[in-house]
Amino acid sequence: MLSIIAGLALSAQIYTHQPSVYVRPPYRVPSSSKYLPDHRRNGKELPNTQTTLSLSADSNITLKAGDNRVTNNLLSSAVKIINQTSLSILSKYAGSTPTQAVNIILFSSPQTYGNALIQAGIPADDIAAYTANTGGITIGSNIWIPLYNLKDISQLANVMTHELTHVTFNQIGSGDKLPTWINEGAAWRDGLLAEQQLDSLATSLEMLTEQRGVLQAVTSGQLLPLTATEQDILNANYNVEYEDFMAVESLVKQYGADKFIAFLDAAKSNQQDADEAFQTTYKIRMVDFQNTFLKSLQSEAK
């Protein structure tokens, strides 16, 4: 919390130079930690928490203080990031911005965040893992973010943009249809783009570290397929979501950003499932793309 408040002093300065465009890195969970899913399918809605402060961003998004250590200044900085960074990334790379109400609640401590998670029905045994390791959680149109896990404002930009990507997909009806690798890969891509706009050097370094982890998993034979189960992902010793990001990046590099938006559009229709939408858009089967991608990682790791 202290570090992010210190980071805020810098945020005005950061915004005086216009961010360079282009891509990458996310919020990180501590590299030694286990991965926890940040969005849950068909979960119970997050309950309304007692909040004292709230501020509205554009596009139906409201930022709220989850406890009284989250200041109005911090909410203002978060609103500014959403208006100046997140929304344009979502329009360009996720195909739209949220059209219905979104609540983002920020928590300053493991205690206040843990209490809120207990009220949301997260099992008591899991609370310690959630408060220690997650960058945020999204259910439906509600996003909760533990600030104390973030180093600075650029990581907050990453987490908010990442979670808003999930919300955007949920609101257009494709969230539950997309395979995890596309849902998470796209959210990572958007989050990294946002972080890069605020701190491109730190973002590049994070990306190198994450990429090294994925390539080491290839050489040690521990790389999971893009269709890995949640249990496999929980037990992995590298960041499987970064592998998802690399797959989405590879897809977008090969076929272009417009095609990816066209695929997302096709996937939200009731007539097609994600596999059909993929084949209609890319003229190849999703499983063939997945296999080709894994092979390309194997040659990269040699």
Comparing C-alpha atoms, which of 222, 227, 210 is closest to residue 293? 227
CA 139 to each of CA 3, 38, 176, 207, 224: distance values in angstroms, whole numbers, following the listed order:
27, 9, 11, 27, 26
Nearer to Zn ion among residue 38 and residue 195 (C-beta): 38
Q: Does 195 bind Zn ion (CB under 5 A)?
A: no
Instruction: Give min distance, CB of 231 to Zn ion, in A.
Output: 17
* Count of residues of this chain found to bind Zn ion when the rule CB under 5 A is applied: 3
Q: Does 190 bind Zn ion (CB under 5 A)?
A: no
Q: Does 29 bind Zn ion (CB under 5 A)?
A: no
Q: Which of 5, 28, 38, 238 is in the footprint of Zn ion by CB under 5 A? A: 38
Question: Nearest residue to Zn ion, using CB?
Answer: 38
Nearer to Zn ion among residue 139 and residue 217 (C-beta): 139
Q: Does 243 bind Zn ion (CB under 5 A)?
A: no
The CA-CA-CA angle for residues 135, 140, 142, to 5°, reads: 55
Q: Does 207 bind Zn ion (CB under 5 A)?
A: no
Nearer to Zn ion among residue 8 and residue 95 (C-beta): 95
d(CA 227, CA 291): 11
Question: Per CB under 5 A, which region of 9-17, 23-31, 38-46, 95-103 contacts Zn ion?
Answer: 38-46
Q: Does 244 bind Zn ion (CB under 5 A)?
A: no
Instruction: Give min distance, CB of 191 to Zn ion, in A.
Output: 8
Nearer to Zn ion among residue 11 and residue 97 (C-beta): 97
Q: Does 187 bind Zn ion (CB under 5 A)?
A: yes
Question: Per CB under 5 A, which region of 35-43, 74-82, 195-203, 294-302 contacts Zn ion?
Answer: 35-43
CA dihedral 90→226→22→254, nearest 10 degrees, is -110
Instruction: Give min distance, CB of 57 to Zn ion, in A.
Output: 20
CA 279 to each of CA 137, 177, 249, 289: distance values in angstroms, whole numbers, following the listed order:
31, 15, 18, 10
Instruction: Give min distance, CB of 147 to Zn ion, in A.
Output: 17
Which two three-digit tokens encode residue 267?
């996937």
CA 296 to each of CA 123, 147, 243, 292: distance values in angstroms, whole numbers, following the listed order:
40, 37, 12, 6
- Token pair 């929304």 is at which residue? 87
Name residues contacting Zn ion, limited to 135-174 (CB under 5 A): none
Is 61 in contact with 99 (CB distance < 8 Å)?
A: no
At residue 269, what is the residue type? S
At residue 124, what is the residue type? A
Nearer to Zn ion among residue 8 and residue 267 (C-beta): 267
Which two three-digit tokens encode residue 183?
């849902």
Nearer to Zn ion among residue 167 and residue 223 (C-beta): 167
Residues 6+ apart with CB under 8 A from 230: 37, 180
Q: Does 249 bind Zn ion (CB under 5 A)?
A: no
Instruction: Give min distance, CB of 66 to Zn ion, in A.
Output: 19
Instruction: Give min distance, CB of 211 to Zn ion, in A.
Output: 18
Nearer to Zn ion among residue 78 and residue 164 (C-beta): 164
Nearer to Zn ion among residue 242 and residue 279 (C-beta): 242
CA 181 to each of CA 16, 190, 225: distance values in angstroms, whole numbers, following the listed order:
35, 14, 10
- Which residues in this chain contact Zn ion in the complex, by CB under 5 A? 38, 184, 187
